[in-house]
Chains A and B, each alone.
Chain A
Amino acid sequence: MFSRATNEHIFAAATRIALFISVSILAFLLGAIILRGIQAISLDFLFTPSRSFGSSGGIAYQILGSLLIVLTAGIIAAPIALGASVYRSEYMKSQRARRVFDLMLYGLNGVPSIIFGLFGLILFVNIFGTGLSWFVGAIILATMMLPTATLATVNAMRGIDKSYRENAFALGLTREQTALRIIIPQSLHGLVTGVLIGLARAIGETAPIMFIATAFSGATVPASLHEPVATLPTHILALAQQAADPAALKNAWGASFTLIALVALFSLAAFFARARLTAYSRR
């Protein structure tokens, strides 16, 4: 139909357009948030509590609540992801069982976040009667992070040369010793990266924690596990509902900018942790 050179040009142009669309959407989104959000950012905004339902004051408790809930989620998810990965990699011998396990993780990864929220509401709030609890929110976010962290660790373990295992076994090491001394140190980069990517995703989630862990206003520093916290995503949601008020809208952009900055921070940390820990594990 067309000459080979024309086909080549059409193909290159089509891929260039696809690249442009994907990059420009991200650039537009980030650009808008940065340009509008930076106007609201100040030390006062970052370090003072919100007032008047967020239309004045800052976002100190929202930042604190978000960090508290996702870091706790990371602490809960990391050992479970590690344990599951070690079992899958070192003890699960059946290829079929491994495939089923992987499939379940991919399935869990694809579950909409609102379903996690609903699950938390039914199990913890309704059945266990926990009430609004930041810790329950952390557990639910940990469940959401689990597939990302586990799959990243499993992939790191899959990449370990089998000769390491063989040499360890040949020295009389048990499977447990081999896992602790060879496999885990060599796959730590996968776990840390997976957890940090999970944190980056979890910190922006509203739906799973909205009904079980957060308060839209009035939450401060929680004194116990059974108290709600304020988080950035729910705060943005609350401010967006008052969009007619320019002060609330300005603060919404500021909170969005802060949220994006935190996501970027976790993503960058994942990038550097991967680079450093990969180098370390190869040492």
Chain B
Amino acid sequence: MSTAQHLQLVTDTAVQETSVSMDDFGVWFGDSCIISGVTAKLPARGVSVLVGPSGAGKSTLLRAINRISDDTAGLAIKGSLSFQTEDIYAGCCDVTELRARIGMVFQKPCVFPRSIAQNVLFGLRGVKLTQAQKRDIVESALRSAALWDDVHARLGERADTLSLGQQQRLCIARALALKPDMLLMDEPTASVDPVSARTIEALMRDLGKTIPVLTVTHNLAQAKRVADYVMFLCDGQLVEAGAKDHMFSKSALEKTQTYLCEEFCDC
């Protein structure tokens, strides 16, 4: 069985309903090909984890899903990428609406210079809400981000008074306040302490029960703890994708085994 056939088989077995599907997808910045020929489907629920060595194109792939890199000079897209059956790189896609539907949390927490409550409601500015509705949204988003107990008594305080771990959870709450159909997380625990990292991991697992969560990590132990589905990228190409158990223990590809077991990649 060829690698491509093996990959197709593994992907189809692991993914029944899809949130994102990519067909021969590639991203170029000027003359540099960052990712190419990625054909994969992401499950409609659960936590999918993108792993691979530095420079493999993980963050580029993640950022392509909500088109956050659209303004980068020289960006060119090849192939197709569909979110819930809609080709998001087709001309008719409303990018700002897409970004509101696909929430994103970045590696470094970035809270706006406003209060905690205002941060949660930031993406909803322009939407007419009563005070009661605002309170409900703030509470619900902060509870979903496991932050309510820490901050409910000081919602009017500046968000930058929170610890980094709390700020990262506030960023998650801010994204959740928009009730996204999917959540993208680019190394969300890279800048926080281990305790906060574990809280965020638990949060990912919880969120994965209701919406698809796609996260990038360099931490394979973390990938093992949170993933339902794993995609292994190397040198801009998808090496293998499949359910966590398959990827960590039953992969037939030597490259996958070497990277996931020995954290080494020679590509």
Contact = CB atoms under 8 A, between A and B. Distances in A.
Interface of A: 93, 161, 163-164, 166-174, 177, 181-182, 185-186, 281-283
Nearest to A162: B110
Interface of B: 66, 68, 71, 73, 96-101, 103-104, 106, 108, 110, 112-113, 122-123, 125-126, 158, 160, 171, 174-175, 178
Interface-central residue, B108, B113, B160, B171, by most chain A CB under 10 Å? B113
Contacts of A167: 106, 110, 112, 171
Nearest to A167: B110
A171 B122 contact: yes
B106 A173 contact: no
A170 B96 contact: no
Contact of B66 (A168, A170, A281): A170
B104 A170 contact: yes
B68 A186 contact: no
A170 B122 contact: no
B178 A171 contact: yes
Contact of B125 (A169, A181, A283): A181
B142 to A, nearest CB: 16
A170 B66 CA distance: 8
Contact of B96 (A93, A164, A172, A181): A172
B116 to A, nearest CB: 13
A170 B112 contact: no
Contacts of B71: 93
A96 to B, nearest CB: 11
Contacts of A283: 113, 158, 160
A186 B71 CA distance: 21
Contacts of A161: 110
B167 to A, nearest CB: 11
A250 B126 CA distance: 61
A190 to B, nearest CB: 15
A148 B71 CA distance: 29
A99 to B, nearest CB: 14
Contacts of B66: 170
A163 B107 CA distance: 10
A163 B108 contact: yes
B68 A169 contact: yes
Contacts of B122: 168, 171, 181
Nearest to B70: A169
- Minimum-distance CB pairs A-B, first 10: A172-B100, A171-B123, A170-B104, A163-B110, A172-B99, A167-B110, A172-B96, A283-B113, A174-B96, A170-B99
Contact of A164 (B99, B103, B112, B160): B112
A172 B97 CA distance: 6
Contacts of A171: 99-100, 103, 122-123, 174-175, 178
Contacts of A177: 125-126
A261 B100 CA distance: 53
Contacts of A168: 112, 122
Contacts of B178: 171-172
B63 to A, nearest CB: 9
Contacts of B125: 173, 177, 181
A172 B123 contact: yes
Interface hub of A164, A167, A174, A281 (most chain B Cβ within 10 A): A167
A171 B123 CA distance: 5
A164 B104 CA distance: 13
B266 to A, nearest CB: 33
Given A166-B106, A169-B99, A182 B112 contact: yes
B68 A170 contact: yes
6 contacts: A169-B99, A171-B174, A171-B175, A172-B96, A173-B96, A185-B113
Given A164-B112, A169-B96, A281-B113, 13 more contacts: A163-B110, A164-B110, A166-B68, A169-B99, A171-B100, A171-B175, A171-B178, A172-B96, A172-B97, A172-B100, A172-B123, A177-B126, A283-B160
Contacts of B96: 169, 172-174
Contacts of B174: 171
A171 B178 CA distance: 8
Nearest to A170: B104
A198 B106 CA distance: 40
Nearest to B122: A171
Contacts of A170: 66, 68, 99, 103-104, 106, 175
A186 B175 contact: no
Contacts of A181: 122, 125
A170 B180 CA distance: 11
B45 to A, nearest CB: 22
A169 B96 CA distance: 7
Contacts of B99: 169-172
A93 B97 contact: no
A108 to B, nearest CB: 28
Contacts of A166: 68, 106, 110
A83 to B, nearest CB: 20
Contacts of A282: 113
